[in-house]
Structure 1
Amino acid sequence: MKRILAVWLPNWPIQRWQASEPEQRDRVQVLSQVERRGQCVVACCDRGYQMGIRPGMPVAEVNTLLQARGLSATEAMTHRPYDPAADREALEKLARWACRFSPCVDVEQREPADTLLLDASGLAPLFGGEDSLLCQVQQGFARIGLKSSLALAGNIGTAWGLAHHPPAELAQRDGTGRTLVSSDTEQESLVRQLPIEALRIPATLIETLHLLGLYHVGQLMQVPRGELKARLGMEPLVRLDQVLGHKTEVMQAARLPQQFAAQWILEHPTDHPESIHTMVMRLLSQLLQQLAAHDLGALKLTCVLQTANRRETSFEVGLFRPSSCNKHLRGLVDTQFERIRIPGPIQEVTMQVVQFARLEKRQQSLFQEMSWKDSSAPPDHSQEISGLVDRLASRLGRDAVVRPRLVADAQPELAFSHTPLVGQPPRRTTRRSEFGPLERPWQLQSSPTPIDVTAVMPDGPPIQFRWQGEHHQVERHWGPERIETGWWRRRAVRRDYYRVETTTGHRFWIFRELTRQNWYLHGSFD
């Protein structure tokens, strides 16, 4: 008999935030996005809800609400932009974790997603019954800091509806939020009592059905199907058939991540460095063979040496680009192996590829010895560069070889971060800058430099300025461009930027700081 277990994670965006940053639980947590009325609340924590914060409320009203309670928004509230893509990515990762309860776990296709679907067919005897299964699954989510509402039924639609809208007569008396449907007769009765919202239809359709006086699934079942189709289209009928079990839904099991690991257990421990080194290299060769069979390359691998009394020492190797080259990886492993201190006789050696990616394959030139001058294309030195980066990171440390990455921040000097080059999965993005090459300077000062500026009016454009002891006369200017940070920052930034061209042909990026009316030079286009 088909059994589906739905696990609903109420207020999932906030729960994800709290699970990743538990230190923020004492503050009011608010997620918002830009709508027609401006920045509006999408979700808030329980404490904020008790204070009167509601989804759809403008963030400016939230600030006023907190001030009315004698609280400062910058001190009592943490405000972040709503990121549904990150929420789904975290939910998919959670689905792979939930494979410990069922071999088939899926994330609901509806957006925004906040529910996991587990195929529980035939699993109840393994957990001591369906009641015990529900209890163990909910306790498992509670151990990782997540609140959940569960329902076990004969199809996806019913399980989803009962998880989100548990009936009072079947919900556990202790308020744990677990619903169990034992028979088809009981399931049909419960489905009739479900609210229209349990059909997973858009909010506009729900509002239309409410205007027609339809609030429960049982009322909708009494309406002729032809009239429903003519007035509202096929979607309500499809969802109704799904919740009644007349139309099946297909689940897509979450793909478990591939694991590449090798282990060597000794009957008699040894502290001989050469013997331990030989074991490490043999394990490395086994891992590379496993990766090569899947056309993959290592990005990060770890090696753990364990003594007979469970003392451990370990080292890590990170790479700039995925590689399965035995010679290259042996050199990196040798460098790290030389640095470790063996705590005693080693009994167990474990090596694992923590991160991996598809190998890059490039077509080679027909005549490798042909010089660049005789060729129409420059030679490809990517492999040499990758090897250099790996060796530098191996000797200097992973955090010593970094690259800049753009960060979504209005303040230019904070709109980037440094991330390590090695040990990171390759990222490809199609995001393009909204500014052209003539609108942002090629060189940016690490911090804005104060300059003396002469302007026609207090709020007008600059006509001349003095920098590094030299006098610059402004020939042309473009702007101002207002750059301002959000009010939730403790120290707000308000600037008017100008692109100026001097009489000598040099172009600079300068701004007036609006709080104190001071001028600064921030970059140059030369």
Structure 2
Amino acid sequence: MKRVISLWLPTFATDRLCRLRQDWLDSPLGIVDETRQQLVLHAVNHAAQKTGIRAGMTLADARAILPSLKTSEADIQAETKALSRLADWCGRYTPWTAPDEEGSGATFAGGGSIWLDITGCAHLFGGEEALMRDVIDRLNCLGFTSYAATADTPGVAWAAARYTHYKRRRWTSVRKGQAQNVLAPLPVAGLRLKSNTVSGLQAVGLRRIGDLIPIPRAALADRFGSEVADRLDQAFGDRPEPISPIAPASPWHARVNFAEPIGRSEDISNAVHKLCNELADMLENEGIGARRLTLTFYPPDGVVERLQAGTSQANRNADHLARLFSEKLDKITATFGIDAITLTATASEKLPPSQATLDRRSEKRETSVAELADRLSNRLGNKNVVQLALHESHIPERAISSNPVTTCSHPIPATPWRISSSPENQPFRRPRPLRLLPHPEEVEAVAPVPDDPPVMFRWRKQVFRIEHADGPERIAPEWWNDRLGLLETEPENEESRTTPIIPVQENIRDYYRVEDRRGRRFWVYRDGVYNPGTKPSWYVHGVFG
């Protein structure tokens, strides 16, 4: 059974500022925004509300009531980011959290709203009541006034969180089958309708949600459009209303909560080993292995810190997974300790059980190489440890590619090209330079025409006089590529899109192996076939030795 929590922070905008300015905690505060060439109060705190100041007042009217009112300019972007960070912090309770952007902001007097899908998570915290109590208490310690409601659908939870008359506690739970009884006495604004729709309903005497329930949906749609009927269907579960989490939720998720914050490195390391063992058991039961992992730390101050690690192939060895994070734990600043830690396998692959052999040396060798690549990648950076893959292409730039080992979908075996077994079809293997430049570099060359190698060329401010040369070796592009063989080293721009398509002959390369007087050997090529009246372009593509 699906259960959703709606968190309502009515003074989120002002609470965010008071966390930055502690001297404003007990002072009347208003956030000002310019609307229609007027300075209007975007949000006010509880101290300002007690003096009769409300959001939506002009700043002049508010000053007339309370001249000592403290004000600050509205920063909608900062408020949105702060709400997203707070929703991320709520990931300590469930991996399925998201800021409610439609239910936050200036329309709601600077309030903020967050969704938490706690399906299958409440028992980890002692039930729904205990979970909501913990959320409210922790948010209160962070300086945020909040209310919470849980229900089967987001619509019911949203309305109950905002329009319930709270007494001693600031949370409520709507049990299964009680949605209609809870919603009936609430105002129609609890259906998350637009302001003009709410005004239209109130004008005809429909002020409570209970007034709308017996009316046929078709009649409501004819008069007020489909919005009212859709919101009613969503509230009662007749129409699905999915919640998109901040990050894709993974079912392979392990967590540990602490009664008191921990800060010693030994305690944190032991907790990480425990999480790795727990996650490894989950993965083994499902016959899969982890490819990418995220370790998340939740300190009491509301700041979320993450460590990430990847593997070159599917792995569920708990000791190896813990070793990937052990060298990174020093990056965690546990100034106020850590309340909770979660470990998530954000990417996984099938890893069926393997048959053990009597001679396990080859098996250990293969595993040790993969684990070594994992440790180097996580120590030096994912982009600094790559895996080379061969491709069936005669173009040098395309014959091989390098990809980070931890991002390859599968380990790529270095299989040779498929070559015919007949001797007449065996290719003549030409030598290739030991060092291939990332991109061909143009040079100034002097060469007889039409097909002779250069006698000298200038490259990188040096002149090289050629003594020996061998060639040419002609390499043509694949005819099936876009723009009839446009090479990857030749970027396509706006000008190239508007110019006529270049014939295939223009992209042909004639390669030469040349040696200068000092014995230095280079791999150079002429771009395109000889064309009288056009100066050919020469490039250096590699260096031998």
TM-score by length of 1: 0.48
Q: State which structure, 1 or 2, has the greater radius of gyration over its C-alpha atoms.
A: 2
